[in-house]
Structure 1
Amino acid sequence: MLLIGLAGTEVAEHERAWLAAPGVAGVILFARNYASREQLLALTGAIRDTGGEHLLIAVDQEGGPVQRFRDGFTRLPALSRIGAVYDRDPEEAVRLAEEHAWVMASELRASGVDFSFAPVADLARGNAAIGPRAFHADPEAAAELAAAYVRGMHLGGMAAVLKHFPGHGSVAADTHKAKAVDPRDLDAIRAADLRPFAEAMAAHAEAVMMAHVVYPAVDTQPAGYSPAWIGQVLRRELGFAGVVISDDISMAAAGVAGSVAGRVQAHLAAGCDLVLACFPDVVEEAIAAVPAPPADAAGKLAPLRGAVGATWAGLLDNPQRDRFVARITALDSHEGNA
């Protein structure tokens, strides 16, 4: 089952067949798909009118450097801003994490989007791709804040997707551009990187996105291609029963599985329920590589569908939202950085 990328701000004629393909579960949107809130509502409506109401619509709306929809949406600070508050006031940081998540989730739900790939549960330990996207370097702090973020997303009517399992923050390379290898053994990863994921799973996160990182002490394949990581560690050891999602098959580190078709099939064979084909130029080949969906596919993915959300007008009429927005946006002000 695929989440696919579209080219522009409307559904193109050739993309209609993609949306109707039985192996397509939904769409992941990017900045290239966004011009305004009004246009976004029209696009999400057109996607479902074309492919069916069952289609999921997702985006990366973490805040900081990764926020696809900006104009017309609250400018969300990077999660590291909340981690900085944790160092001086853990209780305040937990509140801010919940509020940040609620604002993000409620705005997307009012715009026809089911879920964001959030929160980042990686540790902030210098990875080139993660940077300020992670809460904290300390596993205990990151775990408490990730769980709080999941609670806030749920209050906003949105499922949570933890990324990038089993932890992308402790290896330097950026998997968008190169192969990344983390040589630590499983015990070291359990003691650090797995803790935020376990805490957020205990808060009932609905999904996990896999890392394209290789952990050779566990498996020679990147985690998203690894039955050891998905079946043994994530499913059996941690008891996770939710949805498992690959990272984008177009990333450089995904190339170890060969062709686009090979990447899709390797993710599915390893235990991924959803595979991301983010760039339109790989979608045709990805669709052709997907077998008939299993009979229980719709039920498996149902938890990712957003709850009924408020309208945008309803959000603007909510004094609680005003308070939350003021508090989280202050994190990027001079006072918030002090």
Structure 2
Amino acid sequence: MYGLLMVDVEGTQLNEADIELLKQTQVGGLILFARNVDNPDQVRSLCNQIRSINPHIIIGVDQEGGRVARLRQGFTPLPAMGKLGELFEQNPTQALKLSFYCGYLMAAEVLAVGIDLSFAPVLDVNGISQVIGDRGFHTNPEGVVALSTQFMRGMKAAGMATTGKHFPGHGSVAPDSHIAQAIDEREFAEIEQYDMQTFVQTLPWLDALMPAHVVFSKVDDKPAGFSQKWLQEIIRKKIGFNGVLFSDDLSMQAAHVAGGAGERVKAAINAGCDMALVCNDRTAALQALQTAQTLPLPNQQRMANMKASIPTWQGTLESTCQQFTKWQEAKIAVNEFLS
């Protein structure tokens, strides 16, 4: 049974408060941060400990590359995806091949230590956003589609489900929604024809979506992640996506428009999210837990479909990754690009 909350834990091993939280039926996911990571063997041990308490839990991480990489010591560094966009302008064939390798390498190493998925790829166009920047693959939708498709092909070749973020696009609004309210005043037609295309054109490769904490004021007065118009009318009906919808972190400043932690979770779930993330604030997570007890559990079939495609491994990162046939090849190619 999959719960509707994704939470976090305090350190590199579980304490009593973490264990009590993970026992709750409403907790269906856990996201790891840099503070939870020492080395690959420790991450594997932590994931095993987590699953001994909550066997069905989905464990996630943000391992995009560049500045957004929670797994560092003992893991292969990845470039920021924007670097692939720069290469794409000079040598598109090489950039596309390298994007596949990055997706494969990232997924192989994340899976090898017991984590189910990285919330990737970023499908936002690298425009004026203060938080996207070179996390985005390219400065135009066509480049994002080409490069991210190869990245997702690599992820799937290694066995990882994909999560496109931040629907319908965060790249064309400047404020960082982690620390401020972000409002996009463009008409829906412009958003649909530009930012949304990176999601629409990669839809066959996507297993999950994460909506942006951006208010698209000409469409709805709520952030996309709290909006039935965006999640149900546009994502589910208009573009026909039936995968998992993860909220972005509900502790981010732009999410506070919905009220306290409980109200934010309720707003996200009622709008159509399957799982709500409440991170880096244990008090908020406990408040969210109380509210979650009054809400329906997520669509179990959608969650099960995504989870079923993810392989399980045991062993060290090195020994496990030897079973990924392209791991060494991908590692060499990525290291050469970064050198």
TM-score relative to the length of structure 1: 0.94
SS of the residue aligned with 1:289?
helix
Dislocated runs of 4+, deviation >4 Å: 292-296, 316-319
SS of the residue aligned with 1:246?
coil
Task: Tell me the amino acid that sits aligned with residue 11 of structure 2.
Answer: G
Is 1:308 equivalent to 2:312 in the alignment?
A: yes
The equivalent of 1:165 in structure 2 is 167
Is 1:130 equivalent to 2:132 in the alignment?
A: yes
Deviations 1:212-247 (CA, angstroms, capped at 9, x unpaired): 001001001000000011111111111100001111
The equivalent of 2:237 in structure 1 is 236
Task: Tell me the amino acid that sits aligned with residue 96 of structure 2.
Answer: V
- Unmatched tracts of structure 2, length 5 or more: none
CA distance 1:259–1:319, change in 2 (3 Å): closer
Percent sequence identity is 37
Q: Which one of the candidate residues 329, 333, 336 is aligned to 1:327?
A: 333
| Structure 1 position 136, deviation (Å) | 0.4
Is 1:147 equivalent to 2:149 in the alignment?
A: yes
The equivalent of 1:190 in structure 2 is 192
| Structure 1 position 295, deviation (Å) | 6.6
Q: What is the alpha-carbon distance in structure 2 between the residues aligned to residue 291 and residue 123 of structure 1?
A: 37
| Structure 1 position 151, deviation (Å) | 1.3
Q: What is the alpha-carbon distance in structure 2 between the residues aligned to residue 302 and residue 319 of structure 1?
A: 27
| Structure 1 position 83, deviation (Å) | 0.9
SS of the residue aligned with 1:27?
strand
Q: Which one of the candidate residues 65, 74, 85 is aligned to 2:87?
A: 85
Query: 1:23–1:292: 8 Å Cα contact kept in structure 2?
Result: no
Task: Tell me the amino acid that sits aligned with residue 12 of structure 2.
Answer: T
The equivalent of 1:207 in structure 2 is 208
Q: What is the alpha-carbon distance in structure 2 between the residues aligned to residue 293 and residue 179 of structure 1?
A: 27
TM-score relative to the length of structure 2: 0.94
CA distance 1:49–1:216, change in 2 (3 Å): same
SS of the residue aligned with 1:220?
coil
Query: 1:56–1:304: 8 Å Cα contact kept in structure 2?
Result: no
The equivalent of 1:336 in structure 2 is none
Q: What is the alpha-carbon distance in structure 2 between the residues aligned to residue 107 and residue 327 of structure 1?
A: 15
| Structure 1 position 299, deviation (Å) | 2.5
Task: Tell me the amino acid that sits aligned with residue 8 of structure 1.
Answer: G
Q: State which drifts further: 31-40 or 274-283.
A: 274-283
Q: What is the alpha-carbon distance in structure 2 between the residues aligned to residue 330 and residue 281 of structure 1?
A: 45
- Unmatched tracts of structure 1, length 5 or more: 334-338
Is 1:12 equivalent to 2:19 in the alignment?
A: no
| Structure 1 position 74, deviation (Å) | 0.3
The equivalent of 2:37 in structure 1 is 34
CA distance 1:292–1:153, change in 2 (3 Å): farther
Q: What is the alpha-carbon distance in structure 2 between the residues aligned to residue 175 and residue 48 of structure 1?
A: 32
CA distance 1:68–1:88, change in 2 (3 Å): same
CA distance 1:219–1:296, change in 2 (3 Å): closer
